[in-house]
Structure 1
Amino acid sequence: MVAVSDPQVFFTGFPGFLGSALLERVLARGDGPVACLVQPKYLETARERAREIADGLDGVDREDAISLHEGDITEPDLGLEDSADLEGVSEVYHLAAVYDLGVDRDLAEAVNVGGTEHVLDFAEDVDLEQFHYVSTCYVSGRYDGVFTEDHLQEGQSFNNHYEETKYRAEVAVQDRMDVGLPATIYRPAITVGDSWTGETDKYDGPYYLLESIRTQPSWLSVTFSLPGSSDAELNVVPRDYVVDAIAYLSDRESSVGEVYQLCDPTPLSVPDFVDALAAAAGHRVVSVPTPKLLARRVLEQLEDSGTSVEPETLEYLDHPTRYACPATKRALAGSGLEVPPFESYVDRLVAFVEENPDVGDEAMV
């Protein structure tokens, strides 16, 4: 794919699952051309996906719609050999991150924190109109209470390096916003597959719960019930809602300076969530009250034996934080966009898993 002469939009996180869908929406509404920063090892995949996107859009110049630029957010100047042709960029979408609950500290630091700082530096060197940053609701860490768009630095503890480094990355973005960066922050909750097709490119998070159920007999599957699970919520949103919401909000001038939590205002409790997964999988489930330390030891042994259930998942079965999204609800009022109930699409998620057993749980790094 040849480089465009004057790209207007710059993307990181392509050809990732969320980035690819959002890039398509940006082009479809007439923004672009788009320049994508791509790691060399994903270049061929990126070429294929860029062709598919451009070929599927009417009124888009298939040659110039998307340009691919080899680089890496962990490197100074994004590892770009020549960024002269990116001087016309006016919008930046920063999605690249390590989405892995069990990520190593050094890798999470390099990608989520250092990488975000490098993209912010790039944004300050162009004639920027808006910086779009995809964060996560879980910058909350283990905040004990209701966490809204107005919360960030609350003295919270964190479940893992993923949460902590995404928190520090958002702090870096908000610090630059305080001195004039025209930015918008989007915080998705736990994102699963498409609510219509079930499609996803990674089985992690809630999919570990599903895996633990599906690998047991359908007539009796056992799950852990931690102290505090009955009062905890599992806040899940489908990919299409996240993409639709970001596409809509990013096209509003009034979104500059805002933080939007893309969460479910009425999520299921952990027990109800497990029951919904089990029902969709056709399993009868019994939840056994289990001390957290014992449950972790069991999952670590299963992980050592090759069973794909991350022990880090346990922390979300007694998660003390509840999420609210008043700013998002106000901004989306009248748009027709809202989070579908998990029970309305869980069967599609399960069907996709059953029909696509080869999808892995590896993060794109």
Structure 2
Amino acid sequence: MSDSHAAPPEVLFTGFPGFLGSALLRRVLDRGDGPVACLIQPQYRELAEERAREIVSAVGGKWKGDAAAAAPAVDDAPATDPAAHLYEGDITEPDLGLGSALDDPDLLAGVEEVYHLAAVYDLSVDADLAAAVNVRGTEHVLDACERLGVDRLHYVSTCYVSGRYDGVFTADHLREGQSFNNHYEASKHRAEVAVRERMADGLPATIYRPAIAVGDSETGETDKLDGPYNLLRLLLVQPGRLAVAFSVPGADETELNVVPRDYVVDAIAELSGRPETMGETYQLCDPEPLTVPAFVAALSDAAGRRTVTVPTPKRLAKAAARLLSAAGVAVEPATIDYFDHPTRYRCPNAREALSGTGVSVPPFESYVDRLVAYARANPSVGDDPMT
């Protein structure tokens, strides 16, 4: 049936049906915000429909699947039910590929809040793709926010806008003359600079900077085995009685800042629902991270490996990683840069804002067994980014 009384979306999401975006959408709908419009790329439509159905059903609503830039197809559910609408588009295009839908009061003109999570999360991404998605894509989202006159933007950045900053990096730092490990870091830095400039011009926004996000601390679930999982793969292809890992110069003092997905989602869900967090930047990191040797030891114990770390010059370690990848062991050479990463991340304002909420970072050792178990049980999970 057609229903001209169905409420149009009030919230717009990018980055759905990605790993973080899917979990955060459920939290936003569950607390009563919405209806939500999810910007999706055509190649992910089937996955997006499946996940949206599951999420809407889980929070007590009824699925309303929409064609891009068309009036919503609705069912008999009242307009107050939690609803997710899918709009095909692309942040790399002007107007997000949505055209006149942004001006139509029956479609997206009523959007008051935007969650921007879409990005290329890939340490080996080339410069052109990183610029197109992470930088220009964010600029297009900012343009759309201004066109819609939104009450608030929630922008998901990364702690690694720090680049190779030598010292303690907090939410107060951004433009420090730093160099970058890769195009991913550099592009996310440029994107956050663009967001900060619009904020200075009056755009109401909050920035969230997760550290290295891994699977769920309760279930181990992830949809991408990258980052620290490269080390896990290396350990798992070796005998349990003796495994070998690289140790580059400087690794003993280097912190590897890892947080589970549920912490990131819980923190954003908590902070985004409070008006006093407007205008703030929050680093969602572990305030007491493990050093690289301690991280390797914890991962080795969980994987049942007796691991020996071999001192290896960084250039040689990267060459060995390339050879391993060519031989079928997916070890990304770009991850080696984080074994001597000089930056230490701290999050005093996030800890203060989340104090008393029950949202905190669990110690890596408390959930690493679940990460390993999930990776072992789901070997088909790849490391390709959703772009």
Query: What does the per-residue CA deviation read over 1:297-352, in whole Å, with 9 as the maximum and x for residues that have no partner?
Result: 11111222232000000000011000000110111111111100000000000000
Q: 1: distance between equivalents of 2:312 and 2:93? A: 45
2:137 maps to 1:127 = no
Aligned partner of 1:278 in structure 2 is 300
Matches within 5 A, 1:1-365: 5-58=7-60, 60-63=61-64, 65-83=83-101, 84=104, 85-365=107-387
Amino acid at match of 2:15: G
Calculate the aligned-residue CA RMSD, in Å: 1.2
Return the letter of the residue paired with 1:35.
A
Q: Note the residue ranges of structure 2 that are not aligned, 5 or more in a row.
A: 65-73, 75-82
Q: Which whole-Å CA distance do the structure 1 matches of 2:317 and 2:47 have between them?
A: 39
User: How far off is 1:240 after superposition?
Assistant: 0.2
Please give the secondary structure, in 2, of the residue aligned with 1:125: helix
Tell me the amino acid that sits aligned with residue 72 of structure 1: D
CA distance 1:43–1:81, shift in 2 (3 Å) = farther
CA contact (8 A) 1:134 1:186 kept: yes
Q: Given that residues 149 and 260 in structure 1 are in contact (C-alpha distance below 8 angstroms), is that contact kept between their aligned partners in structure 2? A: yes
Counterparts of 1:218 and 1:174 in 2: how far apart (Å)?
Answer: 49
List per-residue Cα deviations over 1:83-136 (Å, max 9, x = no partner).
Answer: 121110000000000000011111011000000000000000113111000000
Paired residue total: 363
SS of match in other structure, 2:160? helix
Q: Secondary structure at the match of 1:88?
A: coil
Per the TM alignment, residue 81 of structure 1 is displaced from its structure 2 partner at its CA by 4.1
CA distance in 1, matches of 2:189, 2:183: 10
Determine the C-alpha separation between the residues in 2 that align with 1:325 and 1:81: 39
For 1:86, what is the secondary structure of its paired residue?
coil
Gap runs ≥5 in structure 1? none
Alpha-carbon distance in structure 2 between the residues aligned to 1:147 and 1:69:
38
Structure-1 residue corresponding to 2:69: none
Distance in 2 between residues matched to 1:190 and 1:236, nearest whole Å: 5
Question: Percent sequence identity over matched residues?
Answer: 66
TM-score, length basis structure 2: 0.92
8 Å contact kept, 1:88–1:127: no
Contact 2:7 2:35 in 1 (8 A): no
Judge conservation of contact 1:87–1:127 (CA < 8 Å) in 2: no
* Shift in Å, 1:15: 0.4
The answer to whether the 8 Å contact 2:52/2:63 transfers is no
- Kindly provide the CA deviation profile for residues 4-43 of structure 1, in whole angstroms up to 9, marking residues without a partner as x: 6411000000000100000000000000000010001111
C-alpha distance in structure 1 between counterparts of 2:136 and 2:310, whole Å = 42
Amino acid at match of 2:228: P
CA distance in 2, matches of 1:132, 1:76: 20
Task: Name the SS of the counterpart of 2:100 in structure 1.
Answer: coil
